[in-house]
Chains A and B, each alone.
Chain A
Amino acid sequence: MKQQGHLEKIIFTLIFGISSFFIWQLKLFDPQVFFPGLKRLAQFCSYLFPPNFDILPSVLWAMWETIQIALAGTILGFLMSLPLAFLGAKTFFGPTVTIIARGFIGAIRTIPSILYGVVFVVAFGLGPQAGAWGVAFYTLGYLAKIYYEAFEAVDQEVMEAVRSTGCSKLQLLRFAVMPETANTIISQVLFMFEYNIRSSTIMGFVGAGGIGYYMLGYVQMLQYQNLLTTLIVTFFVVMMIDFLSFRLRSMIVVAIPKP
């Protein structure tokens, strides 16, 4: 016990020491940088007020486009993730198929959503199409991994019982694996939609449509009062969708008592 307490102290001291070194090295609290920075931040905040609500119609339209990008991207990504998760689950296929599928999923996951935005802007040009495809591919990488792990965790006795009926792999997926993992499938796709509303905002920064495109424009043209209007609209919409998504999850995802 005494030895374990000693080890904990060493670990905490080490973590504290390394963090302090990084903070010092990055000059986070360097008085010559920090205090003038705070002053400029306060000045910037003062430029934000009052918000300019004259631009509300165009901002609301851009926000609507952001919601469209997030929803279409989430649905597309979700639909593409299911067959890929099926191929990646060891429950259904041998190592050759699962290794290839998992390698593909891993490669998709390596690329951040903003880079997908850039790639699809190059492919389809500026606009919401690029944003929706970018969101879809990011969603695909995230959901496919969560889903194949959930598929593999299905109770073996359920799998054996359904498999013993002489069913095909697709029937096993439809009648055992998907109903058993329905809660994970639904809750994760709703969570992903919440996340994608925020990531769709960023997509606009690279010209992939939505409200982010306006935000970047207002910053570049120093129109900070317009920027605040877009931030207020984004804040309310994100809060509203988080709330709706939470309510939807509570309604759909029923707690299943263990036998």
Chain B
Amino acid sequence: MNHKNHANCDHVSHFIDGDHKRSSVLKATNLWFKYEGQKSLLQGVNLEIRQNLVTMILGRSGSGKTTLLKLLGNLITPQKGKVEWLAADANRSAYSMPIAYIPQSLGLVRNMSVLDNTLTGALGYTPTAFTLIKQFRRETLSDAEEILKTLGIGDKKHRKVCTLSGGERQRVAIARALMLNPNLILADEFVSQLDPVTTMEILDMVRQLAQSGISFLVTTHDVELVQKYADRVVIMKEGHILCDHATSGMVVDEMLGCIK
């Protein structure tokens, strides 16, 4: 990191931040991670995700964004540090999971229908024996159909995912995440392969969902998307968090200065 970048990030971190009043849903403390035989991808990362906000992690390729998301989603285990779930357990039902994860290529099963892909979101709270013969609770089925309808793909529920457009697949991935009734959705660069119009539609949907009470943590390398759609930005570089701040008042050049 050069001196100039340090100066820019210091400037950014001094903006007034009103989001601290919101309660946190997730807190990561001193996270260290590296794959065997490789250098550390994350070096002492501290992060707090706040309720009902769209937080975007901004950084160049290899900055550690995806690794951080996988650690928060409990898909990999840190060598050092901890991830704490801070949402009130009293609000959680037996039919929900606190965090949903959407990988970069969405991780949809291409050979299965839209509805079946959506129902995979309910696997964690449906007994294995029933799901093996594709039997779900009636409420689970109607929830899945309702979510698909809300996301505008209710009429395509029986179509195989491989026959859908990029934007429609994005909606299926969101539908699967929503089936977990999560407080937080982690999405890894999930609009990076879409055209600008579809990106806008999907991120508008994300903002609406955030207003309805679901927090989002989205990784991206697109500064303009951050400025337009994020409430907070976390800027990462070489396994460190350089800045974690509200986006209001920040300009593109300041963010670019940090990630360069």
Contact = CB atoms under 8 A, between A and B. Distances in A.
B65 to A, nearest CB: 15
Interface residues of B, number: 36
Interface string A158-187: 111111111110110011100110110000
B120 A259 contact: no
A179 B112 contact: yes
B75 interface: yes
Nearest to B193: A259
Nearest to B131: A171
A176 B120 CA distance: 9
B110 A259 contact: yes
Majority secondary structure, A binding face: helix
B110 to A, nearest CB: 5
A54 interface: no
A162 B123 contact: yes
A158 B128 contact: no
A257 interface: yes
Contacts of B110: 180, 256, 259
Contact of A170 (B100, B125, B132): B132
A157 B193 CA distance: 15
Interface in B162-194: 162, 166, 169, 173, 176, 179-180
A168 B124 CA distance: 7
A157 B169 contact: no
A157 B124 contact: no
Interface string A139-158: 00000000000000001011
A160 B131 contact: no
Contacts of A176: 109, 120
A174 B125 CA distance: 16
Contacts of A256: 110-111, 162
A256 B110 CA distance: 7
Q: Which of the listed residues A164, A175, A257 has the most CB atoms from chain B within 10 Å of its own CB?
A: A164
Given A155-B107, A170-B132, A259-B169, A163 B75 contact: yes
A160 B75 contact: yes
A160 B73 CA distance: 10
Contacts of A157: 103-107
Contact of A155 (B105, B125, B166, B176): B105
A135 B230 CA distance: 61
Interface of A: 155, 157-168, 170-171, 174-176, 179-180, 182-183, 256-257, 259
Interface of B: 70, 73-75, 97, 99-112, 116, 120-125, 128, 131-132, 162, 166, 169, 173, 176, 179-180
